[in-house]
Amino acid sequence: MLRRVLVAAALAARTPAIGLVAASVLVACGGGAKETKKPKPKETKPDSAGALAAARAAAKAGDLETAHAKYTEAGKAKPDAAITEEHVTFLLDNALPDKAVTVAKGFYEANPADARGGLVYANALIGAGDFATALEVTDNVLALDEKSAAGFEARGRAKILASLLDEGVEDLRKAVELDPKNAVYLTSLGSGLHRANKADEAALQLRAAIELDPENSRALRLLGTVRREQFETQESVSWLIKATKADPNDAEAWFQLAVSQNDLGDNLEAETSAQKATALGPSISRYWYVYGEMLRINKKWDDAVAAYRRAVDARPPHPKAAGKLAKVLYESGKPAEAEVFLTELLQTDRNNADLYYNLGFAYAAQKKYRLGIEALEKYLELASKDDGLRKSAEAEIKALKRKLK
């Protein structure tokens, strides 16, 4: 591959190329008079440190455009893997993965033998969801250094996200083997094991990571999630509270905390946690959906409708949000509004079983019994055999048929 050729060429280089020096020619003027030499103006050296400081200040102030421009300026003044890494991390943290890839790729292609630059590029690609290219890049990093724990960790994460679970876990184990006291690598291994449905071992690795770094918010969040799946919900809440304290801006930690609190029946606390998740991640539909669920359970109907609408309008929308929005409408005394909402959606989504289920109940609430039966029968036709709503749909159909007699 072209990248491997570039890496090999960069490693093979031993001496700089010899350049040619051009001679200056003095032009005589006025019959042999010597030309008066003018002093050359002093060149202004690019100020990498100043640009970097300005970038950090702009980033802290939330001025993303200026920060990006200043980081770019700093990188041009001093092409350096550390500056590139900070720039890319800033872009990923602010949900700008495409720009992160562009920045990282530029440095990587100019410095193919710089392993750190390769890792920065791989992480940018992972952040952008391009796992296939990330695997190519991490292969090249490991070709430069076959004992790079960071290389194995990055490749392992890319494989896990590409659904190559067993291979990914193997790479992550290798990273931990090479650097057993690295909390980041232990956390990644715990995450990979969790995705591979190996909850018991995942919990062990995450505990080891937390022991090394008690403020490791990612490990705390993951352990809280794993313990809930192991039906240790009270302990799950405890770990997730610690995660939100370690990083109050981690939207996923607040979301997972809301789910665990709901499992315990602490729905008012869950509502507060879910609201914080939506504030920190306003474009994520599942956050709005769970917030809507908590508001519905707590009988805050209008607020629940607003939250579900956000889940419907997000891209991609939450698949169950439209049905739950309709449910809130007909349960709060607005069945006609629910009917209009659902029939409009069915114009473009005719095979959505959930919509027919809720339309059946919206019709029933308006005493449109025959239409309700038809909608619920359509739901049964489209829904999977193990859908949890089938029994309630069948019971409602029987009740509506009795009302028709």
Q: Are residues 323 and 368 in the same domain?
A: yes
3-state secondary structure 264-311: HCCHHHHHHHHHHHHHHCCCCHHHHHHHHHHHHHCCCHHHHHHHHHHH
The C-alpha torsion from 95 through 98 and 102 to 108, rounded to 10°, is: 80
Does residue 21 register a pLDDT over 50? no
Percent over 90 (pLDDT), the chain: 86
pLDDT tens digits for 295-329?
A: 999 999 999 999 999 999 999 999 899 999 999 99
pLDDT at 404: 87
Does residue 223 register a pLDDT over 60? yes
The one-letter amino acid at 144 = L
Q: Are residues 130 and 166 in the same domain?
A: yes
Is 3 part of a structural domain of the chain?
no
Does residue 34 register a pLDDT over 70? no
Q: Are residues 193 and 156 in the same domain?
A: no
pLDDT at 31: 45
Q: Which helix (H) or strand (E) holds 211?
A: helix 199-212
Per the structure block, which two tokens stand in for 117? 């630059």
Task: Give the domain range for residue 103.
Answer: 79-177
Is 284 part of a structural domain of the chain?
yes
The CATH number of whichever domain residue 394 belongs to comes to 1.25.40.10
Does residue 153 register a pLDDT over 60? yes
User: What mean pLDDT is predicted for residues 38-52?
Assistant: 73
User: What mean pLDDT is predicted for residues 208-221?
Assistant: 98
Q: Are residues 240 and 252 in the same domain?
A: no
- pLDDT band at 47; cut points 50, 70, 90: confident
pLDDT at 405: 76
Count of alpha carbons within 13 Å of 34, Cβ hemisphere only?
3
With tokens 């004992």, the residue in question is 147
In the chain, the number of structural domains is: 4
- pLDDT band at 43; cut points 50, 70, 90: low
Q: Are residues 112 and 171 in the same domain?
A: yes
Does residue 3 register a pLDDT over 50? no
Q: Are residues 375 and 307 in the same domain?
A: no
What's the chain's average pLDDT? Answer: 90
Residues near 39 by beta carbon (within 8 Å), at least 6 away in sequence: none
Is 18 part of a structural domain of the chain?
no
Q: Are residues 333 and 286 in the same domain?
A: no
Is 381 part of a structural domain of the chain?
yes
Count of alpha carbons within 13 Å of 383, Cβ hemisphere only?
22
User: What mean pLDDT is predicted for residues 92-110?
Assistant: 95
pLDDT at 275: 98
Q: Are residues 173 and 255 in the same domain?
A: no
Residues near 193 by beta carbon (within 8 Å), at least 6 away in sequence: 169, 199, 201, 202, 205
pLDDT tens digits for 69-91?
A: 999 999 999 999 999 999 999 99
